[in-house]
Amino acid sequence: MTPVYLDNNATTRVFPEVVEAMLPYFSEQFGNASSIHAFGSEVGGALRIARRSLQALIGAEFDHEIIFTSGGSESNNTAIRSALAVQSGRNEIVTSAVEHPAILQLCAWLEKHEGVVVHRIPVDEQGRLDLDAYRAALSDRVALVTLMWANNETGTIFPVDGLAELAHGVGALFHTDAVQAVGKVKVDVKNTDIDMLSLSSHKFHGPKGLGALYVRKGISFRPLIRGGHQERGRRAGTENAPAIIGLGKAAEMAMATLQEDGIRMAALRDRLEKGLVQQIGHCFVTGDPHDRLPNTATVAFEFIEGEAILLKLNEAGIAASSGSACTSGSLEPSHVLRAMNIPFTAAHGAIRFSLSRETTEEDIDRVLTVMPNIIAGLRAMSPFWSGEGATPDGFNPAYA
């Protein structure tokens, strides 16, 4: 039985071409890019090529606007702390209730320990930002607005271009956590008011432990990690050359097939959602039906536990998730689904299927074959299941 991997928002398989590109930089080309001798200059040249590949993927105007980091979490922390440091006299942050823990936990810490005022903007039942509440939170006290490009659990896309423009209207900096968006949808920062953007290599078939922070030219910046001149003095530490080379190759590959991959994944996602809802009932798709990542489908199954579903799927050789990999160990419903006011009876049974360019029709068919029996079996054992209490076909009316 061939395993089916549908947890690509947690991490993706590193492409063989990416591994091949990385391998020489563990052995033959092992020099430190900061060294002036040939061993170092060869590696330095390869890093410049990788940086330009990522520049092209996100539409940055200059390659030096990209700072390599250890991943999305470091990029997010760097952006937030830098904005507070350089925006003198401003001590407020505007974010949303559905951000990744790398944003929300830092904001909570800053609020508790450093007196930073944090505005958490609510979302509606489809995960869309409350724009009236957002506008009301903006003032000349706001140092930074940090809002995700696309939600990691539901795939809902925020209108970051317009949100950044509104932030600039009050003199605030704008940062977006685009970890789930880069490599899946078109990103073109030079034609927006976005000041900073975070991304992570392993979300689009690059290696783990490597990310980047885009900082627009001219934006004041304060390093998080000091101790060396690397990354133009903005992030100290010897560059992880093999991983950076891998990120560059992954960016190049994503750029080459971005549009066609998106169309294909969206078609498979829609087929999966429609099949689950029609075959099973008493379940519904979460997120914005119109502005959503092409690869992400989170379906809430009423009156059963998501953990039990995942265990049964795993037994069938299928990998999925109950939400963010950073928080899936919790027994509580996802903070994202709670913020969307998903009914408690359904939020506990929400399963996220996240596809990649490698996902096949056969993978989707496997899920559609095994899921009805899994859900029926679990509901038969549930003391809360009566077969009543949902809409007749279980479908979210927003998707009709």
Domain harbouring 144, CATH code: 3.40.640.10
- CATH number reported for the structural domain that contains residue 344 in this entry: 3.90.1150.10
Q: Which of 316, 325, 326, 368 is catalytic?
A: 326
> What value, to the nearest 5°, has the Cα angle with vertex 8 and ends 7 and 9?
95
- Say how many Å lie between the first and final Cα of the chain, rounded: 35
Residue 164 lies in a domain: yes
Do 54 and 118 belong to one domain? yes
Query: Final residue of a domain: which of 220, 254, 288?
Result: 254
The pLDDT value recorded for residue 323 is 61
Dist CA 114 CA 129 (whole Å): 27
User: What's the pLDDT at 390?
Assistant: 41
- Distance (Å, whole) CA 123 – CA 148: 13
User: CB atoms < 10 A from the CB of 268, how many?
Assistant: 20
d(CA 162, CA 99): 18
Place of tokens 């990209």: 66
Contact (Cβ atoms closer than 8 angstroms) between residue 267 and residue 132 = no
Look at residues 156, 167, 92, 153 and name the one whose alpha carbon lies nearest to residue 126.
156
Looking at the fold, whether 178 and 266 belong to one and the same domain comes out as no
pTM above 0.85, yes or no: yes
Enter the tokens of residue 21.
């590109």
174 and 312 within one domain? no
What was the pLDDT predicted at 385? 82
pLDDT tens string, the chain, 400 residues long: the values are 799 999 999 999 999 999 999 999 999 888 887 878 878 888 899 999 999 999 999 999 999 999 999 999 999 999 999 999 999 999 999 999 999 999 999 999 999 999 999 999 999 999 999 999 999 999 999 999 999 999 999 999 999 999 999 999 999 999 999 999 999 999 999 999 999 999 999 999 999 999 999 999 999 999 999 999 899 999 999 999 999 999 999 999 999 999 999 999 999 999 999 999 999 989 999 999 999 999 999 999 999 999 999 999 999 999 999 864 455 455 678 999 999 999 988 999 999 999 999 999 999 999 999 999 999 999 999 887 876 544 334 434 343 3
pLDDT at residue 23, as a whole number: 98
Is position 326 annotated as part of the catalytic site?
A: yes
pLDDT at 28: 87
Q: Which of 173, 189, 110, 180 is nearest to 148 (CA)?
A: 180
Residue range of the domain that includes 169: 16-254
Last residue of a domain, one of 254, 287, 302: 254
Q: Is residue 93 located within the same domain as residue 218?
A: yes
Model pLDDT, residue 81: 98
Backbone phi and psi for residue 141, each to the nearest 5 degrees, phi listed first: -95, -10
What is the C-alpha to C-alpha distance for residues 330 and 388, in angstroms, rounded to an integer?
A: 28
